Structure 1
Amino acid sequence: MLKKGLKLNSILTGSCPKCQEESMYVKKNMYNPEFTIKMNETCSHCGTRYNIEPSFFYGSMYVSYGLGVALGVAAFVIFYSLFETSMKTAFIGITATLILLMPIIMRLSRNIWINIFISYDKNWKENK
């Protein structure tokens, strides 16, 4: 497990970026379409409001695009170079990879986006 206080810990676990005590998401299972990006309003520990302003997470679409491109390139290299498939099969592999990883990409991009704006506060109990 990653050390509490690191942004990477909050990004990979989906925990509150300020206190890293609990998950920002209502349900752990991201493959349930109803709860893929459904978030709690605030952190029950430190009170951090996750939706900082209206439409705050629209910015995470840019992060999602970058993650999608990176995973698409990685899938292409794996299918085309390592497995030595045809271009058509590599394209199908890229598409399947992105569809299967879509919930992970969606949550990861939100986690990265909110961690750009909110930092860990080791004294969050005192500043509450």
Structure 2
Amino acid sequence: MFLKGSKLYSILFLKCPRCHKGEFFEANPYKLSNFNKVKDHCPKCKLKYSIEPSFYTGSMYVSYAVGIAVAVATYVLSLIFNLQLSLVSLFISIVVVLILTMPWIAAVSKSIWANMFFTYDKKIAKNIN
């Protein structure tokens, strides 16, 4: 895949930031029993995902930015599709979209946060099956 080796690949597919092969989360973000639980280590390259206790607390700032981006995208899509929504309807639609995408926003935010601190290592990725 042409994105492999880029931070965007790791973020969008929720993969290990170092090898891009191991899963980053215990389960799908929408599986609420394991909601947003990051694995301790990469199952492929053994990278420890947490640098320090409460490492992912900083991802809340990223989550805010991603949430704003989703809200703006919802508004822009309502303009593109020429939906004549009242202000209240537009507000309700943005809130509904944010609630529905909340697990995805939280997961992507943690992935973005991890990718700020870990980099892709082509040598390690090449040696993993």
The two structures have a TM-score, normalised by structure 1, of: 0.89
What residue in structure 2 maps to residue 90 of structure 1?
90
| Matched ranges for 1:109-128 at <5 A | 109-124=109-124
Q: CA deviation at 1:34?
A: 1.8
* Structure 1 residue 49 corresponds to structure 2 residue 32: no
What residue in structure 2 maps to residue 35 of structure 1?
34
* Structure 1 residue 9 corresponds to structure 2 residue 16: no
- Alignment-mate amino acid for residue 114 of structure 1: A
What residue in structure 1 maps to residue 19 of structure 2?
19
- Unaligned regions of 5+ residues in structure 2, if any? none
- Unaligned regions of 5+ residues in structure 1, if any? none
CA distance in structure 2 between the partners assigned to 1:105 and 1:77 by the alignment: 18
Instruction: Give the match's secondary structure for 2:17.
Output: coil
CA distance in structure 2 between the partners assigned to 1:77 and 1:43 by the alignment: 37
Instruction: Give the match's secondary structure for 2:90.
Output: helix
Q: 1:74 to 1:125 in 2, by over 3 A?
A: closer
* Identical-residue share of aligned pairs (%): 42
Would the aligned equivalents of 1:80 and 1:87 in 2 still touch at CA under 8 Å? no
> When you count helix as a share of all residues, which structure comes out higher?
2
The two structures have a TM-score, normalised by structure 2, of: 0.88
